[in-house]
Structure 1
Amino acid sequence: MKRYLLLILAITTFISCNDDDDDYHDYHLEYTEVISADVPEEFEFGRTYRVEVTIELDDSCHFFYNQYDYFYEGTSRLIYPIVHIDDGIPCTPNIREVTFSIPVQALQTEPYIFKFYQGEDADGQDLFLTIEVPVV
């Protein structure tokens, strides 16, 4: 019985290590621009809110898997949505908008300053859609 289990384990290991995968392709991740953001007019201290963020995917090779970087910078929050882009395969034009939400719990008394990534300027500096939300 032990030999039988070892044989099954060896076969399973061999098959799982087979790298002859026709579906494999290269990809990379990059930040994408925010088109719009829907935030409450004000936050009540201690409550949790959902900030709705809309991005645009350029073609059939762009995918959004609800990934974003969320950085703290004093009272500011910098939001960078991340897209998955397939490389080395043909893409078709398929522009579409995707909206996702970010939970925000109001835990500071100062206004929140949201900075949503909107690309780079000619000098390579990040551009942002900036929205300030007071806390009451």
Structure 2
Amino acid sequence: MKKVLVLFLAVLGFAGVLSSCSLDDPNVNFDAGFLPVVEVDVPEYMQAGTTYPFKLYYKRPTNCYYYNGFYTEQDGNDFKVAVSSIVLYENCMPIQEVEPEVATFEFQCPQSSFQDYTFHFYTGQDADGVDQYMDVTIPVEP
């Protein structure tokens, strides 16, 4: 999983630029993680060669989670999508906000695409630690 390595390197880079944090400080605890998606706003259908905004609504469990873009993994016309985060384990406080936060990414439907796309949006883990997804299939129309 090359993308996991890239995500890890991004975490290291982000941690290095945080004020008052040093990678040489043995007391700084951080990690990479994913934030659970609670809702998505995606197109009803797509047309080949067109770009579409995808809005993902997510919740941070504590103030120690920082949005860090998206993680995607493609297998043919199936895409796993997760909201990536950096987690700092220091003075964390639960977030009680009612409204989820939103992040948007652009998806360009390939010019030669005429098959439906299925997106698997990461929603967290079940009690056994198994990743759970919200599956959305979007048809491609001519």
The normalised TM-score by structure 2 is 0.72
Say whether residues 1:23 and 2:38 are aligned partners: no
Deviating beyond 6 angstroms after TM superposition, the runs of 4 or more aligned structure 1 residues are none
Offset of residue 54 of structure 1: 0.8
Structure with the higher fraction of residues in strand conformation: 1
Segments of 5+ residues of structure 2 without an aligned counterpart are 1-18, 22-27
Asked if structure 2 preserves the Cα contact closer than 8 Å seen for 1:57 and 1:95, the reply is no
- The separation in 2 between residues aligned to 1:113 and 1:23, in whole angstroms, is 42
- Structure 2: distance between partners of 1:102 and 1:80: 11
| CA shift digits 1:39-87 (9 cap, x unpaired) | 010001110001100110112211113x221110221110011111111
- What is the match of residue 17 of structure 1? none
Which residue of 2 is the match for residue 130 of structure 1?
135
Is the aligned partner of 1:69 residue 2:71? yes
- Which has the higher Rg, Structure 1 or Structure 2? 1
Are positions 1:112 and 2:114 aligned together? no
Inter-CA distance 120–91: structure 2 relative to 1 (3 Å threshold) = closer
The count of aligned residue pairs is: 113
Aligned residue in 2 for 1:90 = 91
* Distance apart, 1:123 and its partner CA: 3.9
Q: Does 2:54 match 1:51?
A: yes
1:1-12 aligned at under 5 Å gives the runs none
| Distance in 2 between residues matched to 1:86 and 1:103, nearest whole Å | 28
Q: TM-score, normalised by structure 1?
A: 0.75
Percent identity over the alignment is 22
Return closer, same or farther for 1:124/1:90 CA change in 2, 3 Å cut-off: closer
What SS does structure 2 have at the residue aligned with 1:60?
A: coil
The separation in 2 between residues aligned to 1:43 and 1:49, in whole angstroms, is 8
Alignment root-mean-square deviation, CA: 1.7
Deviation at 1:124, TM superposition (A): 3.3
Structure 1 counterpart of 2:11: none
Q: Deviation per CA, 1:86-106, whole angstroms, max 9, x where unpaired?
A: 11x212232442211111111
